[in-house]
Amino acid sequence: MSTTCASQQTRWRAGGGWLLLALALLLGGCAISEKHPGPLVLGAPSNPALESYKVSLAKYITRVDARMITPGRPQALLRSVVTLEYAVDRRGYLTGVRLFRDNGDRAADATALMSLRRASPFPAPSRTLLDSSGHVHIVETWLFNNDGRFQLRSVAAAQIGDE
């Protein structure tokens, strides 16, 4: 291959690269939106009775495990966030729990699981909340401060810095 041909191919590739970059930037700019997205919603649309039961369970867990609860507002940068999905039967007994989301902090995971297990049995759910297998499923988030204490998102105060 001649030197002229090789340099022409190099210029073409370089020019094509710039063209692709410009096209990517142009198309990428189309996806930018000034609107802020709404909050992430897990699961089905909100059911007021289910939300009320979830809050009552969060308050109950908070009472049972009061020594582990962060007083006041959670710190701005949390040590850990653990989300558990759990099932409660018609009598209020914890029948299943699964780690829904975590950040790898095994101590926080264990604390969240133990606080849930210590609180069982819970107040019994309304029959209208039960699924066909006789359970109600709840997703709750534990917000951990650096000292290892937590608040439950359903009943937590606003974080420091979230005015």
Partnered with residue 96 across adjacent β-strands are: 87
Same domain, 12 and 88: no
The Cα–Cα gap between 57 and 68 comes to 16
**What is the total count of domains within the chain?**
2
pLDDT band at 51 (very low <50, low <70, confident <90, very high): very high
Contact 56, 122 (CB under 8 A): no
Cα–Cα separations (whole angstroms), residue 62 to 5, 67, 134 = 75, 9, 25
Same domain, 2 and 68: no
Same domain, 84 and 140: yes
The Cα–Cα gap between 61 and 142 comes to 11
The predicted-structure confidence for 10-21, as pLDDT tens digits, reads as follows 554 555 555 555
Same domain, 151 and 124: yes
Cα–Cα separations (whole angstroms), residue 134 to 31, 84, 89, 97, 150 = 45, 20, 6, 16, 30
Same domain, 98 and 129: yes
Percent of the chain residues past pLDDT 70, beyond the cut: 69
User: Per the domain annotation, does 2 fall within a domain?
Assistant: yes
